[in-house]
């Protein structure tokens, strides 16, 4: 069976529209590792938030407890994340991972 140029063009357009549709409908990566209080910044307030959540029965990091707290990208929410943030904020230490980096390492955060 031989495809005409018109058929080939139509198939190409359909394939492109399917690719674009799936790319546009994908959910944005909305977890910000290190932004434990979900205010858009990564700073000392997040350090306090993580410490209070761990040791003073404060609210869990939000909106996704592990991903939002995991500044050191080890897949866990613990004091190491507060230490990592202190180094990042005050000593120009390594930045927390991006959402995409976290998801690539640990999978879905929902």
Q: How far is the CB of 28 from Ca ion (least distance, A)?
A: 18
Q: How far is the CB of 22 from Ca ion (least distance, A)?
A: 32
* Residue 59 and residue 53 in contact, taking contact as beta carbons nearer than 8 Å: yes
Is 13 or 41 the residue whose CB approaches Ca ion more closely? 41
Q: Please report the DSSP string for 38-53 in residue order.
A: -SS--SHHHHHHHHHH
- By the criterion CB under 5 A, which residues form the site for Ca ion? 35, 37, 39, 41, 46, 70, 72, 74, 76, 81
Is 37 or 53 the residue whose CB approaches Ca ion more closely? 37
Is 53 or 72 the residue whose CB approaches Ca ion more closely? 72
Q: How far is the CB of 21 from Ca ion (least distance, A)?
A: 34
Helix (H) / strand (E) element for 68: namely: helix 65-69
- The dihedral through the CA atoms of 51, 33, 61, 103 has a sign that is negative
Is 30 or 39 the residue whose CB approaches Ca ion more closely? 39
CA count, 13 A, side-chain hemisphere, 33 = 29
Q: How far is the CB of 79 from Ca ion (least distance, A)?
A: 9
């Amino acid at each position: 069976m031989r495809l005409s140029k018109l058929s080939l063009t139509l198939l190409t357009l359909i394939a492109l529209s399917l690719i674009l549709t799936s790319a546009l409908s994908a959910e944005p990566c909305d977890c910000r590792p290190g932004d434990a209080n979900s205010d858009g910044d990564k700073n000392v307030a997040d350090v306090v938030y993580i410490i209070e959540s761990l040791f003073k029965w404060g609210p869990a990091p939000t909106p996704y407890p592990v991903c939002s707290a995991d500044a050191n990208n080890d897949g866990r929410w613990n004091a190491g994340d507060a230490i990592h943030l202190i180094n990042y904020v005050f000593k120009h230490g390594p930045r927390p991972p991006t959402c995409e980096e976290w998801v690539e390492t640990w999978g879905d955060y929902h």
